[in-house]
Amino acid sequence: MLISEHEEHETRRIILLRLGRGRDPEVLLRGEETQRHLPRVRITRRQRIADQLTAAFKELYGMDAVSLSRLEGCPVQAGSVRVVYEIMEPSCPLAEAGGGNFWVRVDSLAKSELHDRNDLQAVSQAAAQSISVEAPSLGPFANLGWFHELEQWVQKEIRPHGLHLSGRFRQLNADRTFCLIRFETDGPAVWFKAVGAPNERECALTLALAHSFPRFLPQVIATRPDCNGWLAMEAEGAILHECSSVGSWETAARDLARLQIQSIDKCASLLDLGAHDLRISELAPVVEPFLRAMGEVMDRQTKIPPARLSREQLRTLSARVQSALRLLEETGVPTTLGHMDLNPGNIVCGANGCVFLDWVGAFVGHPWLALQYLLEHHKQSAGPNRVKEMRIVASYSGPWRALVPDCDVRRSCKLAPLVAVFAYAAESDLWKKPRRQVNDRAAGYLRSLTRRMEREAGALWEGTIHA
């Protein structure tokens, strides 16, 4: 269990808790009576933790369980060993143990029973975190029993739609204030999602967008204001990353444009609901302070290559970004809804077109910025391919040509790559922190975005910018 930052896998110790028949907290242990230990599962780093924990626990221990959260104060260092505890509970409140597993009352545990004495303190802490009267104040998904209550609520809400839960589910996200679960039914699946800080805006935005643009979002069938949650029908079709044809990306680009055109008169209300404000009037004043901050971030770079950008290069870049913003505003293209995370996992391609998911990245700004975010994900997914990218751009531009002159469509295509990178970087809170609070990884990320801006600016000014 010695974990390196470069290892792809790590082991998690599972504190599986339940309330026994006497409502006393119990924990699942394995092993002999005097040498018991907590269950353990191995996961892959940088993948959905809850999804891996629930799948691995089912495979190893034959029990359906849900993830609550990582234990507070984790990881714990025990010598050279980094120990991480995850709190889980069985999806069935009175699930029986088997196959070498034992339910033991937490208050009856003795130090001699556990192979690792750190586990005793961890179990006690987990019980206090998940069962005490303070647990609900930590978040709606911090206390034991929330899954059973949620399951009952989902069943009640889908019954009018002629659906019944099958008992199968998939938990993709777990935290005290966040939740993402797919419930299977005897018909189409349904999804429950709830969001906490700093993403509370996603709930109100999703509900408003689903109401205003039902063609482009999943159907919302119920809401839970107590946890910023909503229940939606699963969109029919295939996730875009499962589609190998560029035609699916063309359809996504076309439908994105159609959605944006429909949103033109909704921008004020979307800003009131918390959409990111990427309007040019808001971006322009940020250019100079952002690039001054990047000068300090460049000074922190110790590894060469890549070369640092000099103060003179950053001043030139500032002037070019300002010019690009001004020219983009002069196109007269209307401000619309946009999406900052158009990755292929957030787009469902169906028989009637595309549906767009996960609107925490909703913004109001120049519509071509969203096209650039879609194109960037296409490059990451399929590799650079100029011919395919031009097909996607043409598909996106098609619906706009009824509203915007061809010259402004072409100019937007030229200017948007630079402005989109700047808008994405400037909207991040990372650069606004005191430089001493920006860790090396974040600083490297900001430098990479700034270099990308310089490359885009160079390509723009070497070309025919006013064409």
- Amino acid, res. 332: G
pLDDT value of position 231: 98
Strands 347-350 and 353-356: antiparallel
**Does one domain contain both 300 and 435?**
yes
**Does one domain contain both 368 and 287?**
yes
pLDDT value of position 340: 97
pTM (2 decimals)? 0.90
Name the strands in the sheet holding 336-339, side by side, starting at the edge strand that comes first in the sequence. 276-278, 362-365, 336-339
d(CA 276, CA 438): 22
| Low-confidence spans in the chain with pLDDT less than 50 | 1-6, 466-467
The domain in which residue 228 lies consists of: 146-233
pLDDT value of position 6: 43
**Does one domain contain both 172 and 227?**
yes
Confirm whether 2 is domain-assigned.
Answer: no
Q: What is the CATH number of the domain that holds 107?
A: 3.90.79.10
d(CA 393, CA 374): 10
Domain boundary among 233, 248, 274: 233
Confirm whether 105 is domain-assigned.
Answer: yes
Task: Count the Cβ atoms, other than its own, within 10 Å of residue 449.
Answer: 18
**Does one domain contain both 86 and 174?**
no
How many structural domains is the chain composed of? 3
Q: What is the CATH number of the domain that holds 287?
A: 3.90.1200.10
**Does one domain contain both 387 and 312?**
yes
d(CA 56, CA 88): 12
d(CA 420, CA 411): 14
* Residues 123 and 74: beta-carbon distance below 8 Å: no
**Does one domain contain both 330 and 445?**
yes
Domain boundary among 138, 161, 188: 138
pLDDT value of position 37: 87
Looking up tokens 């949650």 gives 229
Confirm whether 80 is domain-assigned.
Answer: yes
pLDDT value of position 87: 95
pLDDT value of position 312: 96
DSSP string for residues in 326-364: HHHHHT-PPPEEEES---GGGEEEETTEEEE--GGGEEE
**Does one domain contain both 250 and 123?**
no
Confirm whether 1 is domain-assigned.
Answer: no
* Residues 122 and 85: beta-carbon distance below 8 Å: yes
Show the tokens assigned to 7: 């290892």
pLDDT value of position 98: 73
Show the tokens assigned to 98: 């088997």
CA 247 to each of CA 213, 243, 375, 385, 394: distance values in angstroms, whole numbers, following the listed order: 23, 9, 14, 14, 12
Confirm whether 90 is domain-assigned.
Answer: yes
